[in-house]
Structure formats: C-alpha cells, structure tokens
Amino acid sequence: MGAAADGAAVVAVAGTLEPYLGPLTGLVVDAAIFLLVVVATYVLYKSVIAPLTARLFDRQGLDEHARRPLQKLVAFVVLFAGVTVAFGAAGYQGFLRSLATIAAAATLAIGFALQDVIKNFVAGVFIYTDKPFRIGDWIEWQGNSGVVEDISLRVTRVRTFDNELLTVPNHALTSDVVKNPVAKKTLRLKFVFGIDYEDDVEKATDIIVEEAEKSDAILDDPAPSVRLTELADSYVGLQSRIWIEDPSRADFVKARADYVKAVKQRFDEEGISIPFPQRTVSGRNEWAEPSSFGGKS
C-alpha cells in the first residue's frame, strides 16, 4: 500500500507539472526525488545515526583523536548508501547498474594500485581500536624509539629523542613487536654493577640497595633488589632491579643516571672498585743461533 501510494503521489505531481514543463516533467520529477532522498539521508544521519555513533564511542572509551576518522568513515558509508537508494528511487536503475559495474572495475584496479595504502589504513583502524599506544607515549620498534606526536589512519608520526620526526606507516607498527614502556603506571629498570673479585659482595649489595632506598624517584614497593648474575673475566656482576612511577623517557634516564652516580660515589667511599677489563697475554719465546738470522757467529 505504501509503495502504491507513493507511486500515485508521484504521478499526481507529474500530472500537475506537465502543463508547465512539458517533456521535461519526468526528468525534473526524478531529479527532485533523488535530491529529496539525499536530503532525507543527511537529516537521518545528523539526527539519529551521528548521536548513536557518539554514544557508542563513549561506551567504548575512544579518545577524541580516534573518533574523528571513524566519524568521517561512518558519514561516508551513510552518504554512499543514501546516494545508492536515491538512484533507485529516482528510477535510475540502468544508470545505477552501469555505475556499479564501473565502480567494481575501478575498485579492483585501485585495490591493486593502492595495496600499501589500504594495508596501512586497516592497520590504522587496529591502532585506534586496540590502543597499543597513545599520543604522548614513548614507544620502541625495530631499533627505533621516540614519543608519539600524531596518529592518523595511514601513518603515525613519532618524535625521536634527537628531535627528528619519523613518519611511520601504520603497518610497520602492527606487523611487528612494539614496546610501550609507559603503558603501565610503573616501570622496572635494571643495571649491572661490576665489582672486583676481591671485594665483599654482601657489602656491595647493601650499598646498592641503600642508595635505591634513598632515591625519591625509586619506589619502595616493589622493593629494590640485587642479584649476582655474572662471573665475568674481570668482574663480578651484581644486577640491581628498581621500579619508578609514572615513567617517561626523561624520568627513566634521569632516575637511572642519578642512581648509578650515587652508587659509584658510595663504592669509592667504601673502597669497592669497579675494575677495567683485563686481558692476560702469554706465550713462549725460543731463541735461535744468530747464524739462523743471517748474522755472523
């Protein structure tokens, strides 16, 4: 009944306009229907779909930088669907079929030509949804490291600690391991102190722990710990394990440097040495008669 009523209404409108437009009546009516459907789609998106999408993003806890590209993607899909329905409602089925054929061929050609772009786009969607890192995080991957400055659907921009800007394809950050040291509220640091074989291991261990407990940057819980991890050629290796809170690259470097400096000063005061690498060279010399070197006896 609804389709019949709509068809009757269209015929009535066409009959009313025919005395004024003549042979152009059908074309004008079809164009008006097309425009009406597109406008209705836009109104539907603004009044219903956009608010629902915003609530869904709120429920998922997406950040503002993640919402914008996804909102644009939703708007594009809705507009494309509205235009497709408008073509059908306006009676442009033949044109719509031709357009679909052309679009399919173009999509295939573009897909082959833009494989890397599409791959990076999909990787960008995964970065937005999985959140392996955020803007402002310090990340490390494939021997590179830096602070994330911007995330788009194709590339991620990272500022290195030498103040260089890296534009990284998103696929490179989703196809390999990415380390995010600041993803959690605490970060564990490890450092190996080498002492001489003749030094007191227990005394050195106490000094390392005491200096960690004195530092404001190092947490008391988890408590600092020391393990004997190496018996190297020229030193005994004591590995210190400490934790810092709210880590960033700057905090990590400063906390470790201050801590190592304090331990070194205590070692000097307590007579504990940090030995240089040593090598022992041995061999045997055999002297021959001078005549063997061409000399005179």
User: What are the tens digits of pLDDT across the range 185-233?
Assistant: 888 889 999 999 999 999 999 999 999 999 888 888 889 999 999 898 8
Helix axis angle, 115-130 to 64-89, nearest 10° = 120
The predicted-structure confidence for 236-255, as pLDDT tens digits, reads as follows 999 999 998 877 776 778 88
158 close to 166: Cβ distance less than 8 angstroms: yes
Which among 251, 176, 180 has a CA at the least distance from the CA of 216?
A: 251
Same domain assignment for residues 222 and 161 = no
Asked whether the bond before 132 is cis by omega within 30 degrees of 0, the reply is no
Q: What is the CATH number of the domain that holds 143?
A: 2.30.30.60
How many Å apart are CA 264 and CA 267, to the nearest integer?
Answer: 5
How would you classify the pairing of strands 225-231 and 186-195?
unpaired
Q: Above 60 in pLDDT, residue 2?
A: no
When pLDDT is averaged across residues 45-54 and rounded to a whole number, the result is 85
Domain, as residue range, for 106: 2-113
Query: In this structure, is residue 295 part of a structural domain?
Result: no
How many Å apart are CA 264 and CA 205, to the nearest integer?
Answer: 13
Domain boundary among 113, 143, 161: 113
Query: In this structure, is residue 118 part of a structural domain?
Result: no
Same domain assignment for residues 160 and 228 = no
Query: In this structure, is residue 179 part of a structural domain?
Result: no
**Residue 292 has which token pair?**
């063997």
More confident of the two residues 234 and 293: 234
How would you classify the pairing of strands 165-169 and 186-195?
unpaired
Question: Domain total for the chain?
Answer: 3
Residue 74's pLDDT is what?
A: 81
Q: Above 50 in pLDDT, residue 97?
A: yes
pLDDT band at 105 (very low <50, low <70, confident <90, very high): low
